[in-house]
Chains A and B, each alone.
Chain A
Amino acid sequence: MVKTKQQAAQTRAVTSVRASQYSFWGNRDLLWALGKRDLQARFKNTVLGWAWSLIVPLAQVAIYSLVFSVIFRAKPPEMGNGEPGIFAVWLFCGIIVWTLFAQALGRGTGSLLAARPLLQKVYFPSYVASFSVVVGLAVQSAIEFSLLLAILALLMNVSWTWLLLPVLFLALLVFGACIGYIFALANLYYRDVSQAVPVILQFGFFLSAIIYPLSLVQEEAYGIPVRTLIELNPMTQFIQTARDLLYELTLPSVASVGYLLAWLLLAMGACSFAYRRWGQDVGEMT
């Protein structure tokens, strides 16, 4: 890269602003309003409306339960209360966690492209547009979790470990929001990203130990340490932690929690770096 004289002579640009509108907290109303718009607009002109947000994951649970539980006769782990496991319930728990992440990534990737016309006219930090997608998803996911908890309660499979669900939920939301934002930024520069995301999610779904227990995976295949790789997938750990807390009613291992925490911090760091490096120029991209 050749630097012209002009560039070398430039002073550093400094923007100093004293107003709440530039902070995350100062934009919480907007975050919520945009999330609400997302939700309100999504089910407009549908007869079943909000029911769709439950039908989709339940349909997934039904089809995978049929294939894996009925045809392949997969055995789910025992429930925390000692009763024999129920594949559909065990699967539902994993599907909820995965759906939240998959949608945060899937919808998040297009969020900045969609919000760009707005970002060219009204100032707000670009991450607000992206994070608002996750706000909408959080509402949807909370409904799914409520249904799961209701089912587990009916099965008398309840414990104090449930109280830790909000912590896991929050971590998952932040993780999804950060990854989604990074992909959304990348998608502004290279539209290839939005083409690649469905492929990534397809791989992610089958490599996240959602529809099979990790114990079923062989250590090695074709010289590849398959189980270790699947274990290293952060989504496997998120899903396992959710199942520990809600289904098996145990505490997740320290290693899992530490590993997830590391991923979370990594995602947040990368997200904050991406915002400072590229995220403030979204309004001027044409």
Chain B
Amino acid sequence: MSDFSIRAVDLSKRFRQQTERRTSLKELFIRGRGSQPEAFYPLRDVSFTLKPGESMGILGRNGAGKSTALKVIAGLYRPTSGTLEVKGRVSTLLELGAGFHPELTGRENIQLNAVLLGLSRAHMDEGLDRIIDFTGLRDFIDEPIKTYSSGMKVRLAYAIAVEIEPDILIIDEIIAVGDQDFREQCFAHIKKIRQSGATMVIVSHSMATLSELCDTALWLDKGRTHMLGPVDEVTQAYAASAAKPSTAAN
């Protein structure tokens, strides 16, 4: 058996056009069940293998299927066809503070979000104080977070996110939020998680980010693999094609 962390073979995802769905009884009655709605493939026959500790960037134009690819890998979307094998615990950072509840206090939200991101309860009990210290919000930690400013919420979410110790980390552009200082801190932490041996899949529009964090890159175009290879080769080819917009129009 070959050693891999994520292996995808001919992975496809099909969406049905939502507008075609018959929802009301009236519509069903008037138009009948009719033909199958138009199929649309945001992801088509994509294959790749990631060894443990390897890090892959996904790039492509808007609508190329990058986010769909991430969501399929994360298990949020069920693939329509193909094979996806994932070994290990996946943590997904598609949005900071995804499970925050405004009525709960900072402390209660830390506890809930840490579990959502895959921290064990034992780790949580031991790490809670450290997380609170890291937020720098100790004075407000027992206030409901609806009283927090957006900046405070980001700090809280971030402090939880850096505590995770995933086998596989999936990140969507979150490095792009916050001020310069915050971005750099965030960047440093992601590097640290990578050094700890985690397998990573990262979507970003920043070639610099991808070059620094990834080993390989997958260039998606209209849901299909356009290029897969070492990160620098792919980013250079991508940058070169972006400079010639005429090819994209065809």
Mark A residues whose CB is within 8 Å of B.
Answer: 1-4, 6-7, 10-22, 29-30, 33-34, 36-37, 40-41, 44-45, 117-124, 189-190, 280-281, 283-284, 286
Q: Which of B71-111 contact A (CB under 8 A)?
A: 71, 74-90, 92, 94-95, 98-99, 101, 103-104, 108, 111
- B101–A37 touching, CB < 8 Å: yes
Mark B residues whose CB is within 8 Å of A.
Answer: 10, 12, 15, 18, 23, 33, 35-36, 39, 71, 74-90, 92, 94-95, 98-99, 101, 103-104, 108, 111-112, 115-118, 120-121, 144, 167
From B15, B78, B88, B116, A124 is in contact (CB under 8 Å) with: B116
B13, chain A: closest CB distance, angstroms? 9
Q: Which residue from chain B places its CB closest to the CB of A283 in the assembled complex?
A: B76
- A4–B98 touching, CB < 8 Å: no
Known: A33-B112, A121-B92, A286-B18. A14 touches B101 (CB 8 A): no
> Once the chains are docked, how many angstroms separate the CA of A17 from the CA of B89?
9
Q: Which residues of B contact A13 (CB under 8 A)?
A: 12, 78-83
Q: Which residues of B contact A30 (CB under 8 A)?
A: 115-116
Q: Which residue from chain A places its CB closest to the CB of B167 in the assembled complex?
A: A19
Q: What are 11 A-B interface contacts by the 8 Å CB criterion?
A: A11-B81, A13-B12, A13-B83, A14-B82, A14-B84, A16-B86, A17-B86, A19-B87, A30-B116, A33-B112, A284-B15
- B74–A45 touching, CB < 8 Å: no
> Once the chains are docked, how many angstroms separate the CA of A91 from the CA of B196?
60
> Once the chains are docked, how many angstroms separate the CA of A189 from the CA of B22?
10
- A11–B82 touching, CB < 8 Å: yes
- A18–B35 touching, CB < 8 Å: no
> Once the chains are docked, how many angstroms separate the CA of A41 from the CA of B144?
10
From B78, B104, B111, A41 is in contact (CB under 8 Å) with: B104
From B76, B84, B117, A284 is in contact (CB under 8 Å) with: B76
From B75, B86, B92, B103, A18 is in contact (CB under 8 Å) with: B86
- A118–B99 touching, CB < 8 Å: yes
16 extra A-B contacts, CB within 8 A, seeds A2-B35, A21-B90: A4-B36, A15-B78, A16-B84, A17-B86, A18-B87, A19-B88, A19-B89, A21-B89, A29-B121, A33-B112, A40-B103, A41-B104, A119-B76, A120-B76, A121-B98, A123-B92
- B115–A33 touching, CB < 8 Å: yes
Q: Which residues of B contact A280 (CB under 8 A)?
A: 78
A106, chain B: closest CB distance, angstroms? 20
> Once the chains are docked, how many angstroms separate the CA of A17 from the CA of B120?
19
- A122–B85 touching, CB < 8 Å: no
> Once the chains are docked, how many angstroms separate the CA of A11 from the CA of B44?
12
- A37–B104 touching, CB < 8 Å: yes
- B83–A44 touching, CB < 8 Å: no
> Once the chains are docked, how many angstroms separate the CA of A123 from the CA of B23?
27
- A123–B74 touching, CB < 8 Å: yes
Q: Which residue from chain A places its CB closest to the CB of B21 in the assembled complex?
A: A189
> Once the chains are docked, how many angstroms separate the CA of A123 from the CA of B117?
9
Q: Which residues of B contact A118 (CB under 8 A)?
A: 98-99, 116
A128, chain B: closest CB distance, angstroms? 10
> Once the chains are docked, how many angstroms separate the CA of A35 from the CA of B104?
13
A11, chain B: closest CB distance, angstroms? 5
Q: Which residues of A contact B89 (CB under 8 A)?
A: 19-21
- B78–A40 touching, CB < 8 Å: no
- A123–B81 touching, CB < 8 Å: no
Q: Which residue from chain B places its CB closest to the CB of A41 in the assembled complex?
A: B103
Q: Which residues of A contact B108 (CB under 8 A)?
A: 37, 40
From B15, B33, B77, B116, A122 is in contact (CB under 8 Å) with: B116
Known: A2-B35, A29-B120. A283 touches B71 (CB 8 A): yes
From B23, B81, B90, B95, A12 is in contact (CB under 8 Å) with: B81
> Once the chains are docked, how many angstroms separate the CA of A283 from the CA of B86?
18
- A122–B98 touching, CB < 8 Å: yes
A29, chain B: closest CB distance, angstroms? 5
Q: Which residues of A contact B86 (CB under 8 A)?
A: 15-19
- B83–A18 touching, CB < 8 Å: no
Q: Which residues of B contact A283 (CB under 8 A)?
A: 71, 76-77
B105, chain A: closest CB distance, angstroms? 9
> Once the chains are docked, how many angstroms separate the CA of A286 from the CA of B71?
14
> Once the chains are docked, how many angstroms separate the CA of A189 from the CA of B28?
14
> Once the chains are docked, how many angstroms separate the CA of A11 from the CA of B10?
9
> Once the chains are docked, how many angstroms separate the CA of A118 from the CA of B100?
9
Q: Which residue from chain A places its CB closest to the CB of B87 in the assembled complex?
A: A18
